[in-house]
Amino acid sequence: MTSLRPCGAGRGRPRDEAREQAILDAALELLVEVGYERMSMVAIAARARASKATIYRRWTGKDELVVEAIRRRGVDDIGPTDTGSLRGDMLDTAHQMIDHVSRDDAALMAGVLLAMRKSPDLAATLRSQMIEAKRCVGELIVQRAVARGELCSPAAADVFNELAPAMVFSRLLITGEALDDAFIEHMVDDVLLPLMTAVGADSHWRRVS
């Protein structure tokens, strides 16, 4: 697994934020245009009008550079709002998810997914650094619901974490259908809520006594 280190750490030179961002932007542009395998550090340097030495002072290789570029695009992580109900929390979180992904080009997301298949190291790093960290979103939503006395199935957090992104990305990358309020309400009311509050044995429900 790639090990991330602070950019420019221990090099004794101040960071140039504008130059650094230009390099990160160039990496994502090339990821979309030529794909991960054909993308080179030389090409990134040329696109960003930076030297290879400048790039290697900050990143040890392509994996690390791409991870940092993707992380910067997702700097405003989703923070579920406590609306007072499980349904309200999910609607708010779904809106945040869609606002977040809508800022990114679908082609970039497709390029990232393909890159993860091509590079096991990149995939492992992205999963550990970003994807797994986002699993706390569903867990927080369910914890709040349980604390209010709302009934949730034992798998409620997993249902949200697995199905909500899958439905959003299906529309974004595959069907191209609208990610609008109607879709959000359908996702929450017709899919997520019934599964997350599925009736089962009372002993299997999660509820604050």
Under a CB-based contact definition with an 8 Å cutoff, are residues 180 and 172 in contact?
no
Q: What does the domain layout of the chain look like in residue ranges?
A: 17-73, 86-204
Facing residues of 152 across strands?
206
Q: So what's the pLDDT on residue 1?
A: 40
Alpha-carbon distances of 134 from 36, 93, 126, 205, rounded to whole Å: 24, 12, 11, 24
Taking only the tens of pLDDT, the chain with its 209 residues reads 444 444 444 444 456 788 899 999 999 999 989 988 899 999 999 999 999 999 999 999 898 999 888 877 764 567 889 999 999 999 999 998 888 776 656 778 788 888 888 888 888 877 776 666 677 889 999 999 999 999 999 999 999 999 998 999 899 888 989 999 999 999 999 999 999 998 553 434 444 33
Classify residue 180 as exposed, middle or buried by CB count within 10 Å of its CB (0-12, 13-18, 19+): exposed
Any idea which architecture 86-204 has in CATH?
A: Orthogonal Bundle (1.10)
Q: So what's the pLDDT on residue 129?
A: 64
Helical packing angle, 17-34 and 41-48, nearest 10°:
120
Under a CB-based contact definition with an 8 Å cutoff, are residues 135 and 161 in contact?
yes
Give the CATH fold of the 17-73 domain. Answer: Arc Repressor Mutant, subunit A (1.10.10)
Q: So what's the pLDDT on residue 15?
A: 61
